[in-house]
Structure 1
Amino acid sequence: MIHQVTELRCRTLWTGSGEPLEGAAVRISQGKITEIVPCGPSDGFHFQFGMPAFFDGHCHLTWMILKKISLDLSQACSREEFLDLVSMAAKEVPHGSILRGESWDESLWNTPVLPTLAELDRATGGVPVFLCRTCGHKGMVNSAMLNLITVHSSEVDRENGFLLERMVINFTRYFPPEPEQVRNALASVVSDIYSMGITGCCTIEKPEHIDLIMEASPDLDISFVVQTRPPWLSGSYRGSSMIKLFLDGSFGAGTAALDLKSGEHLLFTDQELFDALAVCFNQGLTPVIHAIGGAALEQIDRVTGRVFEAAGGGFPVRIEHGEDLLRVWPGHFDPEYHSFSMQPNFVERWQRQGGMYDRLLGACHSSFLNPFRSILSAGFSLCFGSDSMPAGPLYGLKGAWRHRNPAESLSVEDALRLYSIEAARMSECMALSSPLEPGRPADMVFLSGNPFKCIDGLQVVSTFRGGREVFGSGG
């Protein structure tokens, strides 16, 4: 049987390893690469630059869905504009329903002062509202919403109208959206992902959401990190071997564990973390640990050492974010067992001079966050993802290429590798973890220009998934 062969000719092709190739054609049949051959200008180039498709090593598909079906507050530039948007949306909410808003970020407002509970009550007219901060670790609620929340927790601030940490993360468990609404929004989310040049992702999800995502997005290459907390780890986890543990919150929500002496804002005691890691070891699971502040990272260093000793040896521990790592570096972190998944978009969005991190932590402390180069130079595995804040590798990569601290900047090649084949490898999606070569799935992204020559103004012009264009002129 003769199979159709597709040829994609690139002015420049980076296979994911070594120097870019000038003038190269990728031949594809039955969804896989069959060969890569030279080509020249006389053949006509389809694309300026091609490379392995991006892989988002840390995202939240359900959260991206919720953003689709919620009021978008990301464009608010002030408290007044924020309240106007919420007030207008509240007028359209059917009786008995909840207004959910997403992605507000007061650090980008003209004056970063949040509304009071009384102001939010006046704006919403008795409609229950839940408004989630862009970090996902803090939410604003009005009195009508507080009346519906029966949980008694220190993470519910009834005086000021805020939810923190687990109350935000688990909000959909108490007030779930309609499944059909979620299913319909997922198709749009997948289209957005393809438009960013991404064909695979590692998504952090609650167990109850995994089946729906698998059913509704069969074309994406997805690995799952199951988000849970002891007592847990019973029953099927749909083949996932990764378990998410939150040790602290975020800088923007004021819940990152920064104080090395007090350990304020740590969500686990040392013994709780020890027990959780021991369960992971005994069940052959990889703990994926959210740790932003220095105290949380120091706790990982301290407790994993104890667990490794008790287990008679180390096992894989994947650390998410690790922004404040240099305050406890190098400690006893071991490149054989510890790996890091980080978000360069945090650098681009909040770590720039005069940005939110400067205001919250001071310029000196801020400049030493997100030490990408230090981690790579010490021999640790490192990959990139977005945490869906926002998704989009080309936005995030600017933070890696032009880090606030030049000593922590990465080369173009390293940054592209960490946001593609290395992210796939660390997320256990092995089919996309190798450079472009015969036999590999033809998952590729094509850019408007060559990032090895200029990193400004780049755009995704086409995305191929298994040899089929899913975004672009024919996607």
Structure 2
Amino acid sequence: MPTPSLVVVDGMVRTQAPDRTAEAVAFHKGRVLAVGATEEIDALAGPETHRLDAEGRVVLPGFVDCHTHAARLGEMRFRQDMSNAPGKDEALQVLNARAQKTPGDGWVIGWNWDETAWSGEGPITPEDLDGVSPHHKVLARRVCGHRIVVNQAALDALDLDRSTPGIETDEDGNITGRLSEDAAVQAWEACAPAHETCVKGLKLETRRLAEMGITSVADTAGRREIRLLTQAAQEGWMLQRSGLYVKDDLLEHLEGLAMGPLSGPWCSLLGVKIYVDGSIGARTAALREPYADEDTRGELLHAPEEIADVASRAADLGLQLKAHAIGDRAIDAVLDGLEQADVDPALRPRMEHVEMLHDDQLDRMRELGVTAVMQPNFVGNWQRPGGLYEQALGEERARRMNPFRSVLDADVPLAFSSDGMPYGPLYGIACAVDHPNPDEALTVPEAIRSYTRNAAYALGDEHARGVLQEGALGDAVVLDEDPRQAAAIDEIDVHATVVGGQRIV
């Protein structure tokens, strides 16, 4: 047997392979060489082998965050994070301070604000941003990414086409500065930073993800994201393996190249992403019944026939469909579209978020082979008493949101991810275990599996990722505490992260 480059010994190795635990694991040429007892693995080591003594700590496969926006982390690093503002006044003060440091009439861009974390002050308005600075172009992006607010100076600079979906107008037909969905995307892209800035930021942020034990990510990718992540893979500085799901408006380019799945050790093309609705926070998630606090059922961005067209065309290239669907009406539309397209379940179509699931939909998902890619962090963010879900949907519907246990009981594959709101698998696992609706809570092992092997299943790679077994990719995380016993799972420190058989943290 070859000599390993690294051995991790004297641990509690929870391999995520059925009925298999161990004490140690050996790595060679980027993959798992052997799993077994410490004495057996130590015997494989040679003079050049690095030895990591876990000292009884838990060893897991590296966390697989299968729905991220990692490519955007670089640019976000150079924009104003508003997530720590305790109220709207403080959020506006942060932007004002940024404006004071911004020369001329340049852009002042804030992101990650969430009015549901404030004390009834309501969302940021265009008038609020006019008050921040009447001269600078000020833009504030809500945490969900589906709502952007701009001041008049920014609105003038953007010169938006009135026909763009998501532009709000007042009773006189004037554009208000509140933008959602397509209009929000257009505004965000219009003030994108230079590519070199994104590279610089992502080089810093990739280490932060590694420090959380994240070894694989999967991004929705437009042109900028494709350029950035493929460059990272070619130059070898990205510390996570990246899977790309290109936006549906790029599908015709893939068809022109007859380009199907592309698999590489650090960057792979996996599928096509389509947005079918918006978000609860922006009141654009498409619901069967109106919101509790607004007379709207949200926005259905694509009819079933359009979803079927994208699904069929992706399937013709051998690519997965990745459909964003939060509200129950959007979930219905995706299921209708998949039935019309008659997509082979072997392609493992994915539905993202699926926060408002019903039993009848779960039955259809199982029959169609759909994987539920959910974000347990949303439970901690918005499903607590008095939170966003309760405000927007009322108590009864809020209680039924994010039904993790129901998904598993229906034999629908359940994969966890963060959507970057915020990153942190251990936070997500803690939220899934401490679900405010006990009937929908998971056990610690179930939650861990959803963030490892099940998440790898969503990427079509469960035999190589999310599992520590011979021949699998050499990605692992060592935790300072056992999640099964820790008083606070989200406060557990990552002791070490291994990617490709090398310790990087």
Q: Common fold, TM-score beyond 0.5?
A: yes
Alignment match, 1:387: 419
**Structure 2 Cα separation of the partners of residues 2 and 330 of structure 1:** 47
Q: Which has the higher mean CA deviation after the structures are superposed, 388-397 or 233-242?
A: 233-242
Q: Is the 8 A contact 2:465 2:472 kept in 1?
A: no
Distance 1:360 1:302, change over 3 A: same
Distance 1:165 1:10, change over 3 A: farther
Alignment match, 2:94: 85
- Kindly provide the CA deviation profile for residues 345-383 of structure 1, in whole angstroms up to 9, marking residues without a partner as x: 001111122211111111111111111121122221221
Alignment match, 2:377: 345
**Structure 1 Cα separation of the partners of residues 392 and 359 of structure 2:** 16
- How far residue 256 of structure 1 moved from its aligned partner, in angstroms, is 0.7
- Superposed counterparts of 1:393-432, under 5 Å: 393-429=425-461, 432=464
Q: Which has the higher mean CA deviation after the structures are superposed, 126-135 or 426-435?
A: 426-435
**Structure 2 Cα separation of the partners of residues 305 and 21 of structure 1:** 40
Distance 1:170 1:225, change over 3 A: farther
Q: Is the 8 A contact 1:201 1:424 kept in 2?
A: no
Q: Is the 8 A contact 1:32 1:442 kept in 2?
A: yes
Distance 1:89 1:380, change over 3 A: same
Q: Is the 8 A contact 2:284 2:297 kept in 1?
A: no
Distance 1:328 1:378, change over 3 A: closer
Structure 1 residue 248 corresponds to structure 2 residue 264 = no
Alignment match, 2:143: 134
Alignment match, 1:167: 183
Q: Select which of 289, 293, 299 maps to 1:265.
A: 299
- Superposed counterparts of 1:163-312, under 5 Å: 163-217=179-233, 218=236, 219-229=239-249, 232=252, 233-236=254-257, 239=262, 240-259=269-288, 264-308=298-342
**Structure 2 Cα separation of the partners of residues 37 and 413 of structure 1:** 20
3-state secondary structure, aligned to 1:225: strand
Q: Is the 8 A contact 2:75 2:202 kept in 1?
A: no
Q: Is the 8 A contact 1:305 1:332 kept in 2?
A: no
Alignment match, 2:30: 31
- Kindly provide the CA deviation profile for residues 32-51 of structure 1, in whole angstroms up to 9, marking residues without a partner as x: 333233249xx974351111
> Under a length normalisation based on structure 1, what TM-score does the superposition of the two structures give?
0.90
**Structure 2 Cα separation of the partners of residues 125 and 298 of structure 1:** 44
Percent pairwise identity: 28
**Structure 2 Cα separation of the partners of residues 376 and 431 of structure 1:** 20
Q: Which amino acid aligns with 1:136?
A: G
Q: Is the 8 A contact 2:377 2:428 kept in 1?
A: yes
Structure 1 residue 451 corresponds to structure 2 residue 452 = no
Q: Is the 8 A contact 1:425 1:432 kept in 2?
A: no
Unaligned runs of 5+ in 1: none
Q: Which amino acid aligns with 1:196?
A: M
Measured on the aligned residues, the alpha-carbon RMSD in Å equals: 2.6
- How far residue 403 of structure 1 moved from its aligned partner, in angstroms, is 1.4
3-state secondary structure, aligned to 2:366: coil
Alignment match, 1:365: 397
Q: Which has the higher mean CA deviation after the structures are superposed, 450-459 or 250-259?
A: 450-459
Structure 1 residue 155 corresponds to structure 2 residue 175 = no
Alignment match, 1:378: 410
**Structure 2 Cα separation of the partners of residues 112 and 429 of structure 1:** 45
- How far residue 243 of structure 1 moved from its aligned partner, in angstroms, is 0.6
**Structure 2 Cα separation of the partners of residues 106 and 305 of structure 1:** 38
Distance 1:372 1:185, change over 3 A: same
> Under a length normalisation based on structure 2, what TM-score does the superposition of the two structures give?
0.85
**Structure 2 Cα separation of the partners of residues 248 and 377 of structure 1:** 26
Q: Is the 8 A contact 1:8 1:46 kept in 2?
A: no
Q: Which amino acid aligns with 1:157?
A: E
Alignment match, 1:464: 498
Q: Is the 8 A contact 1:294 1:328 kept in 2?
A: no
**Structure 2 Cα separation of the partners of residues 411 and 331 of structure 1:** 23
Q: Is the 8 A contact 2:5 2:501 kept in 1?
A: no
- How far residue 146 of structure 1 moved from its aligned partner, in angstroms, is 0.3
**Structure 1 Cα separation of the partners of residues 66 and 347 of structure 2:** 20
Q: Is the 8 A contact 1:71 1:89 kept in 2?
A: yes
Distance 1:326 1:14, change over 3 A: same
Distance 1:21 1:430, change over 3 A: closer
Structure 1 residue 94 corresponds to structure 2 residue 114 = no
Q: Is the 8 A contact 1:335 1:381 kept in 2?
A: no
Structure 1 residue 116 corresponds to structure 2 residue 125 = yes
**Structure 1 Cα separation of the partners of residues 502 and 270 of structure 2:** 30
**Structure 2 Cα separation of the partners of residues 2 and 34 of structure 1:** 8
**Structure 1 Cα separation of the partners of residues 66 and 467 of structure 2:** 17
**Structure 2 Cα separation of the partners of residues 321 and 333 of structure 1:** 13
Q: Which amino acid aligns with 2:249?
A: R
Unaligned runs of 5+ in 2: 43-52, 170-174, 263-268, 291-295
